[in-house]
Structure 1
């Protein structure tokens, strides 16, 4: 935390140069529509760093924020590559199955589920699709996403609860 002239903490907005962070994120390949999210992630990490007890002050918050912004850009690319790989595997999986005619009720249910999936947060949707559409185990999903198994279980629990609520709200299902 950088101190002001009187030694009190300086607000995060004044500690980091937002335009510089946007430029770093943009040069790192983060799309325009996600720049503000990246800036907020940098600010959040700065606040987290400042709130750690016994943590020494960040000597140069602007340089620290620039490094964090570049790491966020790298993480964005990793996530994008992971999503693209997943999309390719899913499209291969679905391309080998022949199309099947379904009764109207099943089509309606599929549409409601698809709309519910679209409304889920990306991480919950990803876990749900990997578990129930590709039949991966929780352990496999955790390894694939590089997260603990408990995180996968939590995401699945919240996603299923949200979809259940949505399905119960729809009449006739």
Structure 2
């Protein structure tokens, strides 16, 4: 009986986001959850406060990019991301609505995945400044496997005008 070979680790890039409750605490809990279940976090950006994208009539988000060295498949990494969201009390009431936690897979190594549950690289990455700014902090030379451009080049060409600012570390009073 042959044993399957272990999966070589892949460097995956994730984007964390929160715009409900103690946003920074939700991101910290997500980092802890992902480190325990998805793999080693080898790089993380600072926190950025970003205007809501898609539905702008909601509170601002905190966003952070992570580089995670994982031995999980892309689908199992997605399951770990969804588990982190569930642990944070994420409710999927409306598309692009407010949320305690959102975890997106931006890149999974240089792989291109397209399934009903997961598309990687993230299909809207090139048009989202809130994702590109933190990602450019930790991986400016990372090349998009379909577009052939680096993250820094994607950011320079990004049409999204919404502001993305380093977070100063204070949550607003309730």
The TM tier, using the shorter chain, reads under 0.3
Output the TM-score relative to the length of structure 2.
0.22
Output the TM-score relative to the length of structure 1.
0.22
Structure number with higher helix proportion:
1
- Higher gyration radius (CA): 1
Greater RCO (Cα-Cα under 8 Å, separation 6 or more): 2
